[in-house]
Structure 1
């Protein structure tokens, strides 16, 4: 089962996601990959075998592009290596992206340990079930 997978990392975490992608190149190469701005370019340079569709940089709209993909059921897994110790000027975009991931049941890994757990799981090859029914919220303001 081919999945749509996004690879994103804050500046201080870019070296970590690059090494992680190289380590898991064989598995990742079997899926459709998307990367925001610099992260996608750096991974592509380090692992030319990985075909990554480039998106905008996170602060320039890449986070919103990923959010739209999640809402449309077009993203299965988000590997987003976050840096919790550095303030991010687009923090509201990041929070919105993580909120949408939760709402639409998109798998998210925000650190190396979770990313390894997700990619090594036997469920990695199973179809992803996205949430599309929000009828329980019909009478509420979100």
Structure 2
């Protein structure tokens, strides 16, 4: 599964802690992240992470592009609801794309934990079926 990890500045420590706690789960998947968040996860866990630009410089849109092509399976986005973000329209677009393409999205540690436990149990195998349908359609 391809998992995107994004965190606003005030939530980066929380996401790094979360990635560290669930390192054994995440090491079996492909991780993607926006700039600084990805670097911090790599440094803390040693997990391989494909990094994009930082969110305000287009990283949210790069991840959104993968969602729109059905190439992302889950998004963990620790948002800071108490701080205004200069790229709020990009954030809203990313969340909307998750809804349009039925991509599981967690915006806080509580919902992220539920998704990760589901990932451990194999609850997201349906994403494999979607990828197979896409592959067969493109042949």
Q: What TM-score do the two structures reach when normalised by structure 2?
A: 0.88
In the alignment, the residues of structure 2 paired with residue 114 and residue 63 of structure 1 have an alpha-carbon distance, to the nearest angstrom, of 20
- Residue 36 (structure 1) shift: 0.2
Corresponding residue pairs, total: 128
SS at match of 1:83: coil
Could you say what the CA RMSD is over the residues aligned between the two structures, in angstroms? 1.5
> Is residue 18 of structure 1 aligned with residue 16 of structure 2?
yes
Instruction: Give unpaired runs (5+ residues) of structure 1.
Output: 131-142
- Residue 61 (structure 1) shift: 0.7
Map of 2:40 onto structure 1: 42
In the alignment, the residues of structure 1 paired with residue 67 and residue 37 of structure 2 have an alpha-carbon distance, to the nearest angstrom, of 19
SS at match of 1:27: helix
Map of 1:84 onto structure 2: 81
Instruction: Give unpaired runs (5+ residues) of structure 2.
Output: 131-139
Query: Which of the numbers 3, 6, 9 marks the counterpart of 2:7?
Result: 9
Runs of 4+ off more than 6 Å:
none
State the Cα deviation string for residues 30-52 of structure 1 (Å, max 9, x = none): 1010010100000100011x110
Structure in which a larger fraction of residues adopt helix: 2
